[in-house]
């Protein structure tokens, strides 16, 4: 069994990982929550609805990492630096899906990767990463005569826009078009903006209801268009991807890894 600590254990993703861990041959050995959380001391299995598993939630990050092979992080950007420092010291591999990282966090990910395996991804869905590969291939093969626009839809409570996944898809398309073309992001159009420029890459966010996450890459050319869509119907898919990533890091040397490494091929 892979021994896993969860950073952000009381959140929706943390609870999903607890529910699915046993099915993915993983044992939860640590459950870390934010300082002062009302969930401190409560069994993480009870919160997740799986029954008591003997792991109490704690805001002591060092204690939560004890005995873990890997820590899976779905928390907040401001909480990640401390986790990285402590994981590096404890020699615990890191899988992180926390988004909206600043330059400090990015540097710390690289620094931590010099000591332990590290995988950061804004989306741990296997399907999304296959979509990114397909979108990049399509953008490259169709060429600059096809405009690219990305539309993402999420629930009304999502606080950031565009989604980290939409940015990931845009980066994949941009890399496929370079070095022959430089694409500029456009996040909104209003008024007399004139014709669409050839170097525009539209990224648009829709918010409402309880949508977990839909992403569509539109490739629009003369007389035809191609629409590549991924729809998430359960947050469990992100948890499964994170657990698969955790298994991939197990036994690996220090370094930065990606979901493409996990998928292989």
Residues annotated as catalytic are 154, 158
Neighbours of 79 (CB within 10 A): 18
In whole angstroms, give the CA distance from residue 97 to residue 74.
5
Question: HSE-up of 180 (CA within 13 Å, CB side)?
Answer: 10
Q: What is the DSSP code (8-state) at residue 164?
A: H
What are the DSSP E strand ranges found in the chain? 2-7, 26-32, 57-58, 70-73, 93-96, 117-120, 147-154, 184-186, 200-207, 213-221, 224-232, 255-257
Q: Which pair of tokens denotes residue 69?
A: 């092979």
Q: What is the dihedral of CA 117, 2, 33, 73, to 10 degrees?
A: 30
């Amino acid at each position: 069994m892979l021994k896993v600590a969860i950073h952000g254990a009381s959140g929706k993703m943390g609870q999903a990982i607890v529910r699915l861990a046993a099915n993915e041959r993983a044992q939860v050995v640590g459950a870390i929550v934010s300082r002062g959380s009302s969930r401190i001391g409560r069994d993480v299995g009870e919160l997740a609805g799986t029954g008591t598993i003997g792991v109490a939630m704690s805001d002591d990050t060092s204690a939560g990492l004890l005995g873990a092979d890997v820590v899976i992080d779905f928390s907040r950007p401001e909480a990640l630096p401390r986790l990285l420092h402590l994981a590096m010291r404890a020699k615990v591999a890191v899988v992180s899906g926390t988004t909206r990282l600043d330059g400090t966090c990015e540097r710390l990910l690289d620094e931590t990767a010099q000591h332990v395996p590290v995988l950061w991804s804004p989306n741990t869905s296997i399907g999304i990463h296959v979509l990114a590969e397909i979108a990049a291939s399509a953008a490259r093969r169709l060429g600059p005569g096809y405009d690219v626009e990305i539309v993402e839809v999420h629930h009304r409570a999502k606080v950031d826009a565009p989604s980290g996944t939409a940015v990931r898809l845009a980066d994949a398309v941009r890399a496929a078009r370079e070095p022959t073309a430089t694409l500029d992001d456009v996040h909104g159009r209003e008024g007399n903006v004139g014709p669409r420029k050839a170097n525009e890459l539209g990224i648009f966010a829709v918010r409402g209801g309880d949508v977990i996450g839909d992403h569509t890459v539109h490739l629009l050319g003369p007389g035809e268009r191609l629409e590549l869509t991924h729809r998430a119907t359960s947050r469990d898919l992100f948890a499964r991807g994170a657990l698969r990533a955790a298994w991939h890091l197990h036994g690996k040397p220090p370094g930065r890894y990606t979901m493409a490494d996990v998928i292989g091929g």
